[in-house]
A = this chain, B = another copy of it.
Amino acid sequence: MKTIEVTELVLRDAHQSLMATRMAMEDMVAALEDLDKAGFWSLECWGGATYDACIRFLNEDPWERLRTFRKLLPNSRLQMLLRGQNLLGYRHYQDMVVDRFVEKSAENGMDVFRVFDALNDLRNLEQPIAAVKRTGKHAQGTICYTVSPLHTVQGFVDMARKLVEMGCDSICIKDMAALLKPQPASDIVTGIKAACGEKMPVHVHVHATTGVTLVSLMKSIEAGADVVDTAISSLSLGPGHNPTESLVEMLEGTGYTTRLDKARLLKIRDHFARVRPRYGEFLSNITGVDTEIFDSQIPGGMISNMESQLKQQGAAGKMKEVLEEVPRVREVAGFPPLVTPSSQIVGTQAVFNVMMGRYKVLTGEFADLMLGYYGETIGPRDPEVIKLAQEKAGKPPITCRPADMLEPEWDRLRASALALTGCNGSDEDVLTAAMFPQVAPKSVTRGPRTWAAILVPPKGRNPFETRFSTR
């Protein structure tokens, strides 16, 4: 009987996927004791878009949120999603900033760093993974799963082997668009175990959007996966994840089991079922499945982004054309996986192509992508469009690791942060200002919270009131 370990996603990816990352800390606190004692391998609770949402919408200091988790989840591994050299921002940061961010995250309580790069460019993972290793914490190397004429099982397995050579403690297959079908799931896990050794832990992260991925988890487990990601049922399915309780029940009678406490799972479920309606205005209205994305390979979140861009331009009727343009733009750009930020970059360029003519106007980000400033893509990029990008951006294409182009910037970032009202001078505050230069200056100091932005206080709540405190 093999025990399958589980990472619970409700504190991060579940509400990021289902309610625009809007869940406030005060709506999580009451469930933490049960989450801490239910028997999860880890609790994903930080990173991704949560840092941004904390300061932009929720009047929370993300570092304070992390310290609260650390305090109230004493028995749990805390896990975060880290966008490689981008950290939690939207550009590449110089290595010293990356080091500082990882050190501070570890110091404030983070245990497991799931590190990915949107282009699967290993060079963008080297620095953050080395930084995690230096802290003694768990470095999880991540493969962004996608489908294209160039992506193969062998390619993903090769990437896993290289991640292990870089010192990763485990490998994650990250299927952000629910494209991972049962057979490739089985093949990739089998391949990784053969290439990296049976003892190298393999984690599988899938979304539920297409309806097939609980089967993919089953086949992954049969192929040797050690840890799978799920979300408690009351915040699951649709563009979110498979329900934790269903995973537990699914395994009954097989040669696999979990060590999850079903009674605690029900309490956690009931808590988030009560919380969910408070976020009605942000809730995804997708409750069924979408299998068309197997053909378009466009994640659900990306479609809603493009829809709103088209509407702003009074061209909502052009959606079909845009959907057909996305795969062409992706091919021109060398078949990147579609995940933050490549999904937004490709999607926006597809909208521009349809509205103004193909590559008549390039976005700055798309030009950077074409010129190599986000890293290397699996396929060659279109030379004609590279030429246009060079004209637009006024800089040459590069082939080196993008962060190698950056000058040391920590001292400059620190100085500009210190000049802002409300900065308490800590490295944590400097990192907030560095990653969110537009948002941080608008935030103010109030009581124990240093970067508590009040741009959009949570509906129906007094932003000056907290229902929990850890200090």
Q: Interface of A with B (CB < 8 Å)?
A: 181-184, 187, 210-212, 214-215, 218-219, 233-234, 236-237, 242-243, 245-246, 248-250, 252-254, 266, 287-292, 294
Contact = CB atoms under 8 A, between A and B. Distances in A.
A214 B249 CA distance: 13
A182 B289 contact: no
A99 to B, nearest CB: 42
A181 B252 contact: yes
A266 B292 CA distance: 8
* Copies per complex of this chain: 2
Given A212-B246, A246-B212, A254 B291 contact: no
Given A212-B214, A236-B288, A237-B287, 17 more contacts: A181-B250, A182-B250, A182-B253, A183-B254, A210-B246, A210-B249, A211-B233, A211-B242, A211-B249, A212-B246, A214-B215, A215-B215, A215-B250, A218-B219, A234-B288, A245-B289, A246-B291
B211 A289 contact: no
A253 B181 contact: yes
Contact of A218 (B215, B233, B237, B294): B215
Given A211-B233, A215-B214, A233-B211, A245 B182 contact: no
Contact of A289 (B218, B233, B254): B233
A92 B48 CA distance: 61
A246 B289 contact: yes
B288 A181 contact: no
A247 to B, nearest CB: 8
Contacts of A243: 211, 288-289, 291
**Closest A-B pairs by Cβ, 6 of them:** A211-B246, A183-B253, A245-B291, A287-B287, A212-B250, A215-B218
Nearest to A256: B183
A261 to B, nearest CB: 14
A451 to B, nearest CB: 35
B183 A252 contact: yes
Contact of A233 (B233, B249, B291): B291
A183 B234 CA distance: 25
A184 B253 CA distance: 7
Given A218-B218, A249-B212, A237 B288 contact: yes
8 contacts: A181-B250, A182-B250, A182-B254, A210-B246, A215-B215, A233-B290, A249-B291, A287-B287
B182 A218 contact: yes
A110 to B, nearest CB: 30
Contacts of A287: 237, 287
A252 B187 CA distance: 13
A183 to B, nearest CB: 3
Contacts of A289: 233, 236-237, 243, 245-246
A331 to B, nearest CB: 21
Contacts of A183: 252-254
A291 B242 CA distance: 13
A462 to B, nearest CB: 31
A182 B245 CA distance: 15
Nearest to A293: B249
Contacts of A182: 218, 250, 253-254
A234 B219 CA distance: 26
A181 B248 CA distance: 11
